[in-house]
Structure 1
Amino acid sequence: MRKREWGDRLRQVEKRAHSYQQSPLCSRYQPRLARPSQPSSLWRLFPRQSSALALAQTCKEDVHVFALEREGGGMGQRIYLVTSYTELWHYYRTYRQSLMHCYEVIPEGAVCKLYFDLEFQRAWNPSLDGGRMVAQLIQYVCEKLHELYGLKCSSKDVLNLDSSTEDKFSRHLIFLLPNAAFKDNSHVGRFIHAIVRPVLIMLQARKGSQPEENSTLCASAQQSIEPLTSMECIPIGDRGMLGSPQPKRQKHGEDDLSFLLVKNKDGQTQLFVDLGVYTKNRNFRLYKSSKLGKNAAFVVAKDNQFSPEPDKHLTMEENIFQASLISNVSYTGQRILTWDASEFGNPTGPRPEGSTRAQPSPDCVGGHQYSPYREVDDFVLTLLCKGDIRGSIRCWNYFVSEQLLVYDILNYRWCNNVGRFHKSNNIMILVDLREEVWYQKCHDPECRRQNYRSSNYPLPDEICISHLLKEDEEDQLYLMDDAGTIELSQRSPSEASPEGAKPENRTQAGDTEGWGDWADDDPCYLEALQEVEKSAEEVSDELLLTAADECENRGR
């Protein structure tokens, strides 16, 4: 090839390379919202909650499930979003129209915060002072937490959210207890039912009815709080607390709780506290969200005294949003509070150690209720056999924020740190479901002082769950466009993008500046292109440059 021709072609290649640099083909946008080191998250929308929960449980990324009510979708119809807290907040602020009716899904079995849903109709309760009732309830609950668990807290530890209107008083209370949380929301429900039992008895006495006949109050309580047959869990990180003397009980007469009584639209007396919000996989409305068809979103109440700890990575609003999430609890060795099934309705507190236990049911293993991951439970039990020693699982706690299962072990004290069995202190087995590994920690004071944890050991292949989940064919994906509009995808799940078409910073259809109008390309050129793509032979640079020259000349 002559030198002149080579120089001309080289200049053409350089010219084209420059044009590509000016108008590059964009890769799919995957934001890192909090810090550059944070991995991108998913943004997937499902019509069924079970599919969304399955993806969240099997995904290696830090994602959670939220429920969305959308305009035009019909009352009560929801779709389910799988994404991270940070990513949700990013789009939550931007697409208020499509994300304004949003709920947190509180996963079954997940460690969670103590929370309340409070409401009454103003028209039927004209003399009631809602703000004062909230203050009295917070004081009463704090007293009970101190009496039963030895926890000291006040209204400064309670996030108070308000979505009241002229017609209805409505509050959410989220207790951010100091270094403590409840085992799951069923234990929260049983605890709350127990501490308000005096006023339930008062209601029954006034109506002269049996508990099962007592209006909607006891019915919702009994239906929403399913009994457990598990043994109670000694608080992790502070095992001595349950054995320590409890503070002297403060006597509360029935009249002390009369402030919890309100009237419904039928004139019947009922409880200010909604006892029906402690069910499995409960949908709990988010901060800054309203119900479909309503404009009253939850905001920080005027009488709120809680202020989150400053975080240089979060704005104040995002910090409040994170604090308001019920299952946003990390494993930091805090106490795990429980209320045993046999103590349901008994205000004297958790059952003391050494008391008679109920016989295990078929849903139990090793004397405890199965975790959401039964195969993992069975695997952990296989680790607790050494010689003649047969250990068991005392209790488990599930931290959904980290996809971490923490097993408290009984009658098995082998510690890798000391290379022998501890004389009196038991161990813990922790299973990281996201990384698909397990490791050991223990309650021995010396090991805890060293902050010891063993090496990671891989989970067996048969119980590892791949993060690449294949949805059912009938599980059509919903898509959200750049305007925030959510619609059913016209494509099958296999054709849909892995991110569920979350809003992206990329060139829109019709915006083809720098690339020509591809939809109106010469049919002959498209036919030639198809022929080239079908060819298995390698296309030479010379042929590509010639085709490009012909295309440019045709456009002049």
Structure 2
Amino acid sequence: MKRKWIEKLKKVESLASQYKRHPITAAYKPKLSRPWQPSSVWRLFPRQAAAFLFAKACKEDVHVFALETVLDEKERRLYLVTTYAEFWFYYMKRPQSLAHCYEIIPADTVCKLYFDLEYYKPANPGANGPKMVALVIEFFSKKLEDDFGVKCSTDYVLNLDSSSDVKFSRHLIFLLPNAVFKNNIHAGNFIKSALQPLLSVNGCIPTSEAFLNERSMNDLDGYCGNNKQKPQKIPTELHLTANQEICDLSSLFVQDKNGQMQLFIDLGVYTKNRNFRLYKSSKLGKNVNFEVAEDNRYAVKTSKHVSEEEQIFLCSLISNVRFTDSLKVLTCTSAENERTGASRLSAASSVISGSTMTGYQLSPYPEIDHFIFSLVTREGFNGGLRQWNYFSTEELLVYDTINYHWCENIGRAHRSNNVM
């Protein structure tokens, strides 16, 4: 009897300890106690597509979030459909189940301009992260005014910090007055287009930003006057002002863990249904949340029913856009760049027609570009990527390769074989 009592006591103590770590929160109760909040919707899905189908069928203004978790000893992502108000109601309690959350930026919806900035600290001991952040804000604020007539400054940029001892990490969200981008593909096109002179400093657009190497940096040094030897290939169309911009932006090149050169700006975060980590969330297995940076100058406006923290959360959501009659929707495709006179980045530009996107060299999916490029350059081949087509209905990405004629049927290359 005594033994059974001791076992029951241990179970109770274990449960008490568990509830202390993860307290039960009050239930979300809209309408009566919170008449300004929407009805309760809280549905979890194992697949992103199912979550979006449910969200589209809801009458309420719901959104899709991704939750990182461990199920059956495997890292998984679950997809939550709920309103911003209900999500925040539970999220502010900091339960373990909502510790690693991501906003899903829906495809083909208007969005804010945003940046993911990072570098590996041990490989870049001389880098000045805050100064590089300020440079990014200043440069793109000028580009927004030059290309679209939209005025911006540091006061319009929400600056979030998730840095650790080994990694410098920031999110920048541009809260432009009455201006948003058509979708995050257009936002990415604008950023890549603005950076074209920097990426093409050795005379050609790199096949992928991940392939920037030491030779590119040597060319950059020569181009900026740090080397007496002038690079062999210099874009003749660049004027003095463009040259100065390239020199100013050269500090945005950093080294990764393997010593390879890469951009401080992650150009891989402008893809369909992108998962973008939330304010107050950390990556699974880590304990470094996104918080407001010390050098942030954006001041949130609070209201009677919305606290300062909730307002920061709402401002940080890329697809949380308030529509007004004066809202200006910005676009950036190859045709748009030609019309406005902005720098054209053919490698990253895309033409959208119905459910199909087409472009040259770089697709909106740099990780896949990198993988395909590794296939067409193996075993001594000097292949490349000429064109890509994305069919959204089938979720199919097709590449046309160049200088790669390998035929699996005969086990060798032959000239008449074009690989897709």
TM range (shorter): 0.5 to 0.7
Determine whether 1:349 maps to 2:342: yes
Alignment partner of 1:330 is 2:322: yes
Distance change in 2, residues 1:197/1:44 (3 Å): same
Q: Name 2:34's counterpart in structure 1.
A: 35
Distance 2:49 2:155 in 1: 37
Shift of 1:96: 2.7
Give the one of 302, 309, 312 matched to 1:317.
309
Contact 2:209–2:263, Cα closer than 8 Å, also in 1: no
Distance 1:210 1:324, change over 3 A: closer
Ranked by relative contact order (alpha carbons within 8 Å, sequence separation 6 or more), the top structure is: 1
Per the alignment, residue 308 of structure 1 pairs with 300
In the TM superposition, what is the alpha-carbon distance from 1:341 to its structure 2 partner? 3.4
Counterpart contact for 1:194–1:345, Cα < 8 Å: no
One-letter amino acid of the counterpart of residue 335, structure 1: K
- What RMSD over aligned residues (CA atoms) do the two structures have, in Å? 2.8
Q: CA deviation at 1:198?
A: 1.5
- Taking the aligned partners of 1:360 and 1:255, their CA distance within structure 2 comes to 34
Q: 1:153 aligned to 2:152?
A: yes
Q: Is the 8 A contact 1:164 1:170 kept in 2?
A: yes
Contiguous gaps of at least 5 residues in structure 2: 1-26, 214-239, 345-349, 357-420
Q: Per-residue deviation at 1:135?
A: 0.5
> Structure 1 residue 151: deviation in Å?
1.1
Amino acid aligned to 1:32: P
In structure 2, the partner of 1:212 is 207
Greater Cα shift, 153-162 or 342-351 = 342-351
**What amino acid is the match of 2:29?**
P
Q: 1:319 to 1:217 in 2, by over 3 A?
A: farther
Whole-angstrom CA distance in 2 between matches of 1:40 and 1:349:
45
- Normalising to structure 1: TM-score of the pair? 0.50
CA distance in 2, matches of 1:139, 1:113: 17
**TM-score computed with the length of structure 2 as normaliser:** 0.65
Q: For the residues of structure 2 that align with 1:213 and 1:133, how far apart are their CA atoms? A: 22
| CA distance in structure 2 between the aligned counterparts of 1:147 and 1:265, rounded to whole angstroms | 36
Q: Distance in 2 between matches of 1:336 and 1:66?
A: 24
SS at match of 1:289: coil
Residue 256 of structure 1: aligned partner: 248
| Alignment partner, residue 281 of structure 2 | 289
Give the number of aligned pairs. Answer: 297
Q: Could you tell me how far apart the structure 2 residues matched to 1:91 and 1:320 are?
A: 16
Q: Output the amino acid matched with 1:322.
A: L
Aligned to 1:278, which of 270, 275, 280?
270
- Whole-angstrom CA distance in 2 between matches of 1:177 and 1:285: 21
The residue number in structure 2 matching 1:88 is 87
Contact 2:38/2:83 (<8 A) preserved: no
- What's the offset of the Cα at 1:215? 3.6
What is the deviation of 1:256? Answer: 1.5
Mapping 1:44-55, distance limit 5 Å: 44-55=43-54
The alpha-carbon deviation at position 30 of structure 1 amounts to 5.7
Contact 1:120 1:168 in 2 (8 A): yes
Task: Pick closer, same or farther for the CA change 1:363–1:66 going to 2, 3 Å.
Answer: closer
Shift of 1:331: 1.4
Alignment of 1:161-176 (within 5 A): 161-176=160-175
Deviation at 1:98, TM superposition (A): 1.1
Q: Is residue 2:179 matched to residue 1:191? A: no
Query: 1:50 corresponds to which letter in structure 2?
Result: A
Partners of 1:255 and 1:359 lie apart in 2 by 31
For residues 346 and 258 of structure 1, what CA distance do their matches in structure 2 show?
28
User: Structure 1, unaligned stretches of length 5 or more?
Assistant: 1-28, 219-248, 352-357, 365-556
Larger Rg: 1
Structure 2 match to 1:266: 258
Kindly provide the CA deviation profile for residues 258-285 of structure 1, in whole angstroms up to 9, marking residues without a partner as x.
0210001111111000011011010000
* Distance 1:257-1:360 versus aligned 2 partners, 3 A rule: closer
Q: Which amino acid aligns with 2:331?
A: T
- Do the aligned partners of 2:28 and 2:86 also contact (CA within 8 Å) in 1? no
Contact 1:30/1:41, CA 8 A, preserved across alignment: yes
The percentage of aligned residue pairs carrying the same residue is: 52
Counterpart Cα distance in 1 of 2:108 and 2:139: 27
Query: What is the CA-CA distance between 1:37 and the residue it aligns to?
Result: 4.6
Deviation at 1:313, TM superposition (A): 1.2
Deviations 1:49-106 (A, max 9, x none): 0011111112101110000001456665200000011111110022431101000011
C-alpha separation in 2, matches of 1:39 and 1:154: 34
User: What SS class does the counterpart of residue 267 from structure 1 fall into?
Assistant: coil
Q: Deviations over 1:205-232 (max 9, x none)?
A: 5xxx7622664469xxxxxxxxxxxxxx
Contact 1:197 1:345 in 2 (8 A): no
What is the CA distance between 1:348 and its match in structure 2?
3.3
Q: Work out whether residues 139 and 154 of structure 1, in 8 Å CA contact, stay in contact via their aligned partners in 2.
A: yes
Residue 250 of structure 1 and its aligned partner are, at CA, apart by 6.1
SS in 1 for 2:122: coil
Q: CA separation of 1:148/1:73 partners in 2, compared to 1, >3 Å: closer, same or farther?
A: farther
Q: Which moved more, 1:64-73 or 1:322-331?
A: 64-73
Query: How far has the Cα of 1:40 moved from its partner?
Result: 1.4
Give, in whole Å, the separation in 2 of the partners of 1:210 and 1:324. Answer: 32
CA shift at 1:197, angstroms? Answer: 1.2
Q: Which residue of 1 aligns with 2:62?
A: 63
Alignment of 1:2-13 (within 5 A): none
Alpha-carbon shift at residue 38 of structure 1 (Å): 3.4
